[in-house]
Amino acid sequence: MRAAAGPRGTAIVAVIAVVGALAAGPADAKTASQPSLVVWSGHLGAETTMHGVVLKPNGQGTIVAVSVANRDRATPTTVGPFRPNASALAQIRAAAKAALTAPRVTLGPAGPSAAYASATIQRGAAKRVLVAVTTAPPQLATLITALNRALPATAQLVQPPGPLGAVGLTPRSDPFAGVLIQHSQGTAPCVPGDAATSVAQPISLKDAAGDGLVTLTAKGGFGTDDVAVDAHWAPLADKSPVVLRMNFEITPPDGLSPTDQARVVNGIKSSVESRLGGLKASDGTPLTVQLNVRQRDPGQPPSSCFHEITVNQDVNPDVTSAINTKLNMTGPFQPDPLPGYGNWSTLGTSWQTGGGFSDRAANIWTHEALHFAGLDEAYHPAFQVDDVIKNFPQDARFQNKDDVLAWAAQEEAFAGLDVNSGRFRLPSDPGHEHDYMGRCPDTPPCHVDQAAVDQLVAAGRDNLEITGSPGDLLLNKDPTEQSLGVGTTFRLLVHRGTPAHVDGLVAYCIDADRHIPEAGGLFDVLGRAGDQGDPGMSALQAVLDEIAREQTAPLATVEGGQFAVWRVTDNETAGDDIGPIRSILDAAHIDVSATFATPHYNDPNAAGAQTGSVSSTAVLPTATLVVPPGPAPAPAPARLEALHVQQLAAGRRLLSVQITDTASEAATLTLQRGTRRHGHTSYRRIRRYQAVALHAGLNILSLATPKLTPGAYRVVAAAASATRTASLTIRR
Ligand SMILES: [Zn+2]
């Protein structure tokens, strides 16, 4: 028994369960020494197609897939034949033979949207099943590469990345350690410390410094990401607002005029923000929803740390989707460096001829946006015959309409009715008829479910979002060394109890005549150059704002940026005619004939041992915190929150068990069988499993069971914090 993958781990287990159905046929004598194989790959989560390939020992094969509609049940369909040429076949076979000795299970750090691959390889009597989540062993990676060379573009297998180091990402001691995985589906990941969706209490870099929450350390240079930032969480004043921020990069429909493209992008921002305005938790804490929206030119690569949204003009809302990375709403919110993506619709073109976007379109956008905040659907499948509506059973595993009709035919509620005349329905969950996450776009007015607001605010109270802005000045404690000006928008999310460290913050030297900052030296935060009440400092603010605008990636250095800064801080004129420098100065409206008398500050907190907040002449007191920062608080107590169980496929001796806990603790699982007597069901234990170590968040386990005959069962999870029970009915 082993915890597998992240929130989307269920599908993989189901996929492995169907592999047997596709196993290659018996080998003839000539090819008996050649391997047969079945390889599957995809992303954890039910929203993308899984691709697979079956290869027989004779070199004949089949390309297979599991479409999104079939992901729940993992039912494969045949896409077409797979006939690699001789040299490709030789490479595939060599790789398959080598993979017979690869580790059976390779689990990388679990993360949403993680890639995985599985392979069943048989050669004579030797058989090996490999499963890799997030990270693949080299033998499996080589096999996938060999297969991809021979597969058409539409059937390429997903290659889980190698160990983190191999893709140039180093695990760090911050909330992102463990979830840095290759980006997928046309999105670009966030730098450590940032997330495309965050729910947090905001605090400026200056206030965080004043409250002793950050330490800014010189890395030994200037003009690039030369400041290391360490930070920790502390509680802010009661009822400080919580901000839900979501970054959306929107690609408007093809063929629109630039004006109409901008109307789409701005229309989404304003209509969603206005619908999500004025939210308050039950205790009165405001929840502010900010859409940080940017327009994407399809010719440009995706921006780092933005959810990618493509907008179409289809009149049918069914083409709308949101593939979001899933926030854990029951446990601590952990920022996710992987943005999501989606397809949204304007629901036709009538908005172009007047009246703006329809309420319905805006309500659906709001529904989709809330998915990116981690909210789930609040509606469910049901079947209606005449006036009778019956929800699908919780553990329904219908594959097609015949399955539904077979179930409906034996439902008492439909007795005497012609189930063949029935219709599939998606009603709102009870009490969610006007919830954006229910079917509200069909039944306006819509509102946000109060429980969801409370959950978001509770999650946000455990996070700080520290923001450094272009123009923030960092004074070097050593007066002989350079102070720096921030040339980027810097975000660092800090979770309760988890100190963060990032390398780093992009800043430019503002004292050309001083020494380069020595590594290990500390800075204090003066705040915005533009707030210093000095013309030279205002010019510096304009230059740093322009540098930040021209930055192409979060840690990138802007060409010419350092000389443009020195033009206004130190009257450095040598670059006045050099293209990139001049273009920054022109865009910042700097008069290159001017001479500046910009001040060079000495840090008033030079003697202070920590990073603090300063004015140009004094150390500023702390202001924001309710309680002074002390040692990191003890981790939240464990609480076993939820247990779900389902049989992976009828007749198979495997259960998928999902357990949510708020922290780490051990749990013991038992499987019980019910006996019904005199209208009462009593349970008796039929299997007890080895204790399992739960981690905070969603744990997905698979349990082997004896053959289960039809009847009532339950799984009991017992931990120190609580005991939870989940029922299961085995049919047929
Ligand atoms: Zn939805």
**Separation CA 457–CA 451 (nearest Å):** 10
**Separation CA 559–CA 565 (nearest Å):** 12
Ligand 1 centre distance from Cα of residue 585 (Å): 47
Ligand 1 centre distance from Cα of residue 320 (Å): 9
Ligand 1 centre distance from Cα of residue 438 (Å): 8
- Pull the structure tokens for residue 313: 């003009």
- Pull the structure tokens for residue 268: 């989404």
Confidence at residue 419, expressed as pLDDT on a 0 to 100 scale: 92
Confidence at residue 426, expressed as pLDDT on a 0 to 100 scale: 85
Ligand 1 centre distance from Cα of residue 292 (Å): 21
Ligand 1 centre distance from Cα of residue 70 (Å): 18
- Pull the structure tokens for residue 640: 């076993």
Ligand 1 centre distance from Cα of residue 187 (Å): 20
Ligand 1 centre distance from Cα of residue 370 (Å): 9
Q: Round the average pLDDT of the chain to a whole number and report it.
A: 82
Ligand 1 centre distance from Cα of residue 185 (Å): 19
Ligand 1 centre distance from Cα of residue 242 (Å): 24
Model confidence over 300-312: pLDDT tens digits? 888 888 999 999 9
Q: Is the pLDDT of residue 128 over 90?
A: no
Ligand 1 centre distance from Cα of residue 509 (Å): 48
Is the distance from CB of 302 to CB of 187 less than 8 angstroms?
yes
In this prediction, residue 568 has a pLDDT band, given cuts at 50, 70 and 90, of very high
Is the distance from CB of 693 to CB of 666 less than 8 angstroms?
yes
Is the distance from CB of 213 to CB of 203 less than 8 angstroms?
yes
Ligand 1 centre distance from Cα of residue 342 (Å): 11
Ligand 1 centre distance from Cα of residue 396 (Å): 20
Is the distance from CB of 361 to CB of 345 less than 8 angstroms?
yes
Ligand 1 centre distance from Cα of residue 371 (Å): 7
Confidence at residue 644, expressed as pLDDT on a 0 to 100 scale: 80
Instruction: From 469, 468, 490, 470, select the one nearest 545 (Cα to Cα).
Output: 470
Ligand 1 centre distance from Cα of residue 640 (Å): 27
**Separation CA 233–CA 235 (nearest Å):** 7
Confidence at residue 80, expressed as pLDDT on a 0 to 100 scale: 86
Ligand 1 centre distance from Cα of residue 7 (Å): 17
Q: Which residue is it, tokens 């050649």? A: 34
Ligand 1 centre distance from Cα of residue 512 (Å): 55
Confidence at residue 45, expressed as pLDDT on a 0 to 100 scale: 55
In this prediction, residue 70 has a pLDDT band, given cuts at 50, 70 and 90, of low
**Separation CA 222–CA 245 (nearest Å):** 30
In this prediction, residue 185 has a pLDDT band, given cuts at 50, 70 and 90, of low
Residues surrounding ion ligand 1 at CB below 5 Å: 377
Ligand 1 centre distance from Cα of residue 321 (Å): 7
pTM of the full structure: 0.63
Ligand 1 centre distance from Cα of residue 341 (Å): 13
Ligand 1 centre distance from Cα of residue 62 (Å): 34
The stretch 129-154 carries a mean pLDDT of 82
Query: Does residue 30 or residue 396 have the better pLDDT?
Result: 396
Confidence at residue 577, expressed as pLDDT on a 0 to 100 scale: 84
Q: Which residue is it, tokens 């893709």? A: 167
Ligand 1 centre distance from Cα of residue 367 (Å): 6
The stretch 9-38 carries a mean pLDDT of 47
**Which range, of 356-370, 379-393, 582-596, averages the lowest pLDDT?**
379-393
Q: Is 126 exposed, middle or buried (0-12, 13-18, 19+ CB in 10 A)?
A: exposed
- Pull the structure tokens for residue 427: 């009603």
Ligand 1 centre distance from Cα of residue 73 (Å): 20
Ligand 1 centre distance from Cα of residue 323 (Å): 9
Confidence at residue 445, expressed as pLDDT on a 0 to 100 scale: 94
Confidence at residue 433, expressed as pLDDT on a 0 to 100 scale: 93
Q: Is the pLDDT of residue 724 over 80?
A: yes
Confidence at residue 293, expressed as pLDDT on a 0 to 100 scale: 97
Amino acid at 35: P
Ligand 1 centre distance from Cα of residue 379 (Å): 9
Ligand 1 centre distance from Cα of residue 277 (Å): 20
Ligand 1 centre distance from Cα of residue 47 (Å): 12
Ligand 1 centre distance from Cα of residue 347 (Å): 16
Confidence at residue 338, expressed as pLDDT on a 0 to 100 scale: 72
Model confidence over 336-378: pLDDT tens digits? 667 888 889 999 999 998 778 999 999 999 999 998 888 888 8
Ligand 1 centre distance from Cα of residue 110 (Å): 24
Q: Is the pLDDT of residue 486 over 90?
A: yes
Half-sphere exposure of 241 (CA within 13 A, CB side): 14
Residues 6 or more apart whose Cβ sits within 8 Å of residue 427: 379, 380, 382, 389, 391, 439
Is the distance from CB of 137 to CB of 106 less than 8 angstroms?
yes
Ligand 1 centre distance from Cα of residue 444 (Å): 16
Ligand 1 centre distance from Cα of residue 431 (Å): 17
Ligand 1 centre distance from Cα of residue 366 (Å): 10
Confidence at residue 627, expressed as pLDDT on a 0 to 100 scale: 55
Ligand 1 centre distance from Cα of residue 44 (Å): 18
Q: Is the pLDDT of residue 22 over 60?
A: no
Ligand 1 centre distance from Cα of residue 683 (Å): 38
How many C-beta atoms surround the C-beta of residue 437 within 10 A?
Answer: 21
Ligand 1 centre distance from Cα of residue 17 (Å): 28
Query: Does residue 4 or residue 62 have the better pLDDT?
Result: 62
The stretch 237-263 carries a mean pLDDT of 92
In this prediction, residue 575 has a pLDDT band, given cuts at 50, 70 and 90, of confident
Ligand 1 centre distance from Cα of residue 520 (Å): 49
Q: Is the pLDDT of residue 23 over 50?
A: no
Q: Is the pLDDT of residue 624 over 80?
A: no
Is the distance from CB of 427 to CB of 379 less than 8 angstroms?
yes
Ligand 1 centre distance from Cα of residue 140 (Å): 35
In this prediction, residue 172 has a pLDDT band, given cuts at 50, 70 and 90, of very low
Q: Is the pLDDT of residue 330 over 60?
A: no
In this prediction, residue 1 has a pLDDT band, given cuts at 50, 70 and 90, of very low
Residues 6 or more apart whose Cβ sits within 8 Å of residue 320: 342, 343, 344, 345, 364, 368
Confidence at residue 26, expressed as pLDDT on a 0 to 100 scale: 39
Q: What percent of the chain has pLDDT over 70?
A: 83
Ligand 1 centre distance from Cα of residue 439 (Å): 9
In this prediction, residue 284 has a pLDDT band, given cuts at 50, 70 and 90, of very high
The stretch 699-713 carries a mean pLDDT of 80
Q: How far is CA 546 from the centre of its chain?
A: 30
Ligand 1 centre distance from Cα of residue 180 (Å): 26
